[in-house]
Structure 1
């Protein structure tokens, strides 16, 4: 599950994300992280997306990619969110490349499916190398084709199959 260690590291960036007031949930830990209120090191931060390490890594490289604006869990998404999910995956790939992970066939990109989310702010788990995840809890928690974890590709396919909302 997603957790953040506020005491472990200091931000390497002095840039604060420009999160509009309407896109900020003051009770959400990830909203606080992207606004540099927790002291968590942001490995990537742009106008739309931020990335940081998971406090309880399930693999040697375990990152969380989140939208800077508060977005609910993956069940709350619509077809209009597909570009956001794609951007989150691209940011995850960029972080992996910066950390010399080039074999994307041994990477897991995915989301916990509600109600199996510890934080309701949308967050993509980026785990690499997936082959080095331990059985428990990592392989169980981030298990493919389970009731509690959906890959980014599966989520995009699901969203694309939804009817447009008016």
Structure 2
């Protein structure tokens, strides 16, 4: 797996920068956002360095499917209320115009009681 030496998310996934871990397996790492926008707010990242959603290809389908399959389970475990009254939101900022701040593919999973709307 590629891990650019200056990528903060690669360092978090490798354990060289501490985080509040939510989940880890061979290919995926999830951790709490340090500046949460919601009562539940964590990030799902691939351990392999992929700069953004714009760089994924057919070879990443299983990994992305795994991330999206994990999101509902982890959201419930972290305190989101069940569907349909409860729920969560998944956001993937892509590129400068999309609001991406860290150039490593990541999914924000946000939920919990409102009012947490910020955009």
Q: Normalising by structure 2, report the TM-score.
A: 0.85
Matched, 1:26 2:9: no
Matched, 1:122 2:102: no
Q: Deviations over 1:36-62 (max 9, x none)?
A: 111112221110100000111111000
Looking at structure 2, the residues matched to 56 and 125 of structure 1 have their Cα atoms a distance apart, in angstroms, of 11
Q: Cα–Cα, structure 1 residues 64 and 70, in superposed 2: closer, same or farther, change >3 Å?
A: same
Report which structure shows greater RCO (CA 8 Å, sep ≥6).
Answer: 2
Q: Deviations over 1:107-162 (max 9, x none)?
A: 1112002122100100000001374323xxx2x2xxxxxxxxxxxxxxxxxxxxxx
Looking at structure 2, the residues matched to 37 and 104 of structure 1 have their Cα atoms a distance apart, in angstroms, of 36
Looking at structure 2, the residues matched to 132 and 87 of structure 1 have their Cα atoms a distance apart, in angstroms, of 30
Structure index of larger Rg: 1
Q: After TM superposition, give the deviation of residue 85 of structure 1 in Å.
A: 1.5
Give the superposed CA RMSD: 1.8
Looking at structure 1, the residues matched to 19 and 113 of structure 2 have their Cα atoms a distance apart, in angstroms, of 24
Q: Deviations over 1:10-38 (max 9, x none)?
A: xxxxxxxxxx4xx2111100000011111
Q: Is the 8 A contact 2:75 2:88 kept in 1?
A: no
Q: Is the 8 A contact 2:91 2:109 kept in 1?
A: yes
Looking at structure 2, the residues matched to 104 and 72 of structure 1 have their Cα atoms a distance apart, in angstroms, of 31
Looking at structure 2, the residues matched to 93 and 121 of structure 1 have their Cα atoms a distance apart, in angstroms, of 22
2:36 counterpart residue number: 57
- State the aligned residue count: 115
Q: Normalising by structure 1, report the TM-score.
A: 0.63
- Structure 2 unaligned spans of 5+: none
